[in-house]
Amino acid sequence: MDELAFRLANRIVGNDDNAPALEITMIGPRLEVVRETLVAVTGADLSFAVNGKVAPLYTAIKLNPGDVITFGAIKRGMRSYIAINGGISVPIAMGSASTGLKGQIGGYKGRKLEKGDVLKSKAKSISEVFVGYSVDPSEFTFGAQDGVYRVILGPEDDYFTEKGIETFFNSEYSLSDNCDRMGARLDGPEIEHNEKGAGIVSDGITMGAIQVPAQGYPLVLLKDRGTVGGYTKIGTLCTLDVFRFGQNKPGDKVRFEQIPLEEAQNLLRQMEYKISKVGTKHKIQALTGAKDGDLLRVVIGNESYDVFVEDVE
Amino acid sequence: MEFLIAGDSTLVVRFGKEISEEINQKVRAFRIATEKHKIKGLIELVPTYSTVYVFYDPLVISTKEIIKQLKTIGEEASEAVLPEPNIVEVPVAYGGEHGPDIENVAKAHDLTAKEVIKRHSGTDYLVYMLGFTPGFTFCGGLGDDLATPRIKDPRLKVPAGSVGIAGKQTGLYAISSPGGWQLIGRTTMRFYNPELEPPCPVKAGDYVRLFRFQQKNLKNTEKKSKLQTTRRIIQNGNLKVKQY
C-alpha cells in the first residue's frame, strides 16, 4: 500500500525497487534470523526492535543468526515494510511475487504468513557497503501536510451539486472500522448528489478513486479494490497520496484538497527523481569496489546517466 | 468518443453511458486497435460496459500526447473488423440449493421456476466485461421478462460458480465473494483458474451459452470432474473441445 516506504526499504538494502518484501499491518511478526542478513524496516513506527532493543527505521541493519526481530505498540501509521537483501524468494504467479489474498494466489503460498514459515532470499552474501546506510523519510514528503490528501476532481464530479463538492473539500472525515487494502469507508458530512444520482453503469476504478454511494459517505478505493464498480466517483487521490493514505487506520481524521492534474503529475516526477538517488551510489560502489566519491547525473540529449566519480589520491 | 481524467495516471475513454451491444462493439474495437499500436508508456487497458480505462505512466507519455494518439486510434478503430467471438458452453445446475433466489425471480415475473430456467438457459449472452473479482463475468442481453433487481441484503459469501441476475445483467461469480445478485443456479465449470493461460474461459466480446445441467448432487460424480476439465468453445463456427 505505501509504495514509497516499500521502495525505500528495498533500496536501502541494495535491492531493486520491486524486490519482494513484507508488508506488516499494525501487528508485526516475531522473526528469527537464520543466516547473516541485511534488513531495513520502513513505513509505520510499530516499535521495531532487535533482540529487545529499539532499532532505527529507514536504516540497513546487519543481522546475525539468532538475532530476533519483534514489533510492539503502534506509535505512528499503520503499515510497515521489511526488506531483506536479495529480496524474499517466492514463485511468480500471474507475473507478480505478491500475495493476492482474494484469489488465494501468489506470495508465500497465497496466504498470510503463519508461525513456522521460513523466508529465504537468493542473495549469496551481504554488501558491506550498505551496512548502516540510512535515509531521512522527512525528505520524502513532497509538500504533504499531515491529514490532508490531494485530489484531482472527477471523473463523475458532474453527478454532484456544487454544495456536495464544497462539502467534500471543506469537511473533516474519519476512517470507520470498515477499512482494509480494498478500501476505506469514511464517516463525516454527507456529500450531495444532483438529479443524476449515485449510480452509473459498472465502470472501471482507478487506485485512489473516491466513490460516493447514495448514502453520501466517501469510499476511498485502494490497492485491492474491485476492478469495476457502479458508484459515482467525485475525485481521485493523487498517486503519491494513495501511498500516504495507506498509513491511516480506523479513527484517523482526513481532509481533502483539490489540486490540478499537472501538479499531481509533478509530484510523481519529484518522487521518482528523489527515489532514483537512493542507494544508487552504494550500488555502484558495491559493484565496482570504488571507495569514496560523488554520484552525478549526466544528461546527454534525451538520455540520463548516473555517473560515479571516485576520489583518487 | 469522450476523454475523462481519472487521477494522474488514468484516462477514461467513454463511448456511452449504457449497456448496449453497439456501444460494446466500439469498446472492443478500440481496445483491440489500441493494443496493436503498442503505445510507449501505456500500462494496461481495462474494457468495461461502455468505456475503456487506460492506465499509463505520465512520466513516460504526457496526458496530452496519449490523448492525441488514442484519438487517432479511435478513428481507425471505427473501421475495424472485429474477430469472430467465441461461444463458450456453460453447464448450469438451476434452482434448489444451487439457485436459492430462483423463486424470487419467478415471483417477480409471475412465472414458475421451470419457466425461468427455460428462458434463462435458452439464450446466448454477450460477455460485456470481466471484473469486480477474478473471473466475475458480466453478461447483458437479459430480457425484461427476467430482469430483477439485486437482493436487498447482500450475502457475505456467494459460492464459487454461482450464476445470478442483477437488473438486466446476468453474471457468474467465478470465485466465492460477497454479493448482491439474485442467485438462480451454479456451474461446475471453473471460471477462474490461475494455473491456466488464459485463466478465464471467456473474454469480453465472447458469448456464453448456458445449458441446463441436471445434477442432483454437485459434489460427487464422475461427470462433474469431466466437466471441470473440459472447455467446449465454438470458434469460427467450429466446436473445439479443450481438455486440461
Residue A186: CATH number of its domain: 2.40.100.10
d(CA B63, CA B60): 10
Number of domains in chain B: 2
Chain B CB within 8 Å of residue A154 CB: yes
d(CA A161, CA A185): 21
Looking at A15-19, A301-305, B172-176, B218-222, which range is the least confident one?
B218-222
Are A127 and A178 within one domain? no
- By the 10 Å C-beta count (0-12 exposed, 13-18 middle, 19+ buried), B52 is classed as buried
Determine if residue A170 is left, alpha or beta; phi over 0 gives left, psi from -120 to 50 gives alpha, anything else beta.
Answer: alpha
Interface contact flag, A268 B194, Cβ < 8 Å: no
Residue B93's φ and ψ, nearest 5 degrees, are -90, 110
Q: In this structure, what CATH number is given to the domain that contains residue B92?
A: 2.40.100.10
Nearest-CA distance B171 → chain A (Å) = 13
B157-183 average pLDDT score? 90
Are A17 and A105 within one domain? yes
Are B53 and B157 within one domain? no
Nearest-CA distance A266 → chain B (Å) = 9
For chain A, the residue count is 313
d(CA A35, CA A124): 10
Q: Within B102-182, where are the H helices?
A: 102-108, 113-121
Number of domains in chain A: 3
**B25-43, pLDDT tens digit by residue?**
999 999 989 999 999 999 9
Q: What is the ipTM of this complex?
A: 0.92
**Partner B, chain A 92-151, Cβ-Cβ below 8 Å:** 93-94, 100, 102-103, 105
Does B141 reside within a domain? yes
Mean pLDDT of chain B: 87
Most confidently modeled of A164-178, B125-139, B172-186? A164-178
Question: What pLDDT score was predicted for residue B151?
Answer: 83
Q: Which domain, by its residues, includes A97?
A: 3-139
Among A154, A239, A267, select the one facing B5 at the smallest CB separation.
A154
| Contact in structure between B110 and B146 (CB atoms under 8 Å) | no
B205's grid cell = 466480446
Question: Which position has the grid cell 550498505?
Answer: A130
Q: Which domain, by its residues, includes B28?
A: 2-77
SS3 B155: strand
- Among A74, A107, A139, give the residue marking a domain's end: A139
CB atoms within 10 A of CB B170: 25
In this prediction, residue A275 has a pLDDT band, given cuts at 50, 70 and 90, of: very high
Note the pTM of the prediction, 2 decimals. Answer: 0.88
In this prediction, residue B228 has a pLDDT band, given cuts at 50, 70 and 90, of: low
Kind and range of the H or E run holding B229? none
Interface contact flag, B9 A268, Cβ < 8 Å: yes
Are A132 and A181 within one domain? no
- Among B77, B102, B125, give the residue marking a domain's end: B77
In this prediction, residue B243 has a pLDDT band, given cuts at 50, 70 and 90, of: low
Question: What pLDDT score was predicted for residue A267?
Answer: 97
- Among A139, A172, A200, give the residue marking a domain's end: A139
Are A12 and A120 within one domain? yes
Interface contact flag, B8 A239, Cβ < 8 Å: yes
Interface contact flag, A228 B131, Cβ < 8 Å: yes
Nearest-CA neighbor of A286 among A131, A178, A170?
Answer: A131
Are B63 and B108 within one domain? no
Chain A CB within 8 Å of residue B19 CB: yes
Are B38 and B121 within one domain? no
Nearest-CA neighbor of A6 among A69, A82, A112?
Answer: A82
| Contact in structure between B182 and B150 (CB atoms under 8 Å) | yes
- Among B46, B77, B108, give the residue marking a domain's end: B77
Among A102, A154, A272, select the one facing B6 at the smallest CB separation.
A154
Interface contact flag, A201 B8, Cβ < 8 Å: no
Are B91 and B67 within one domain? no
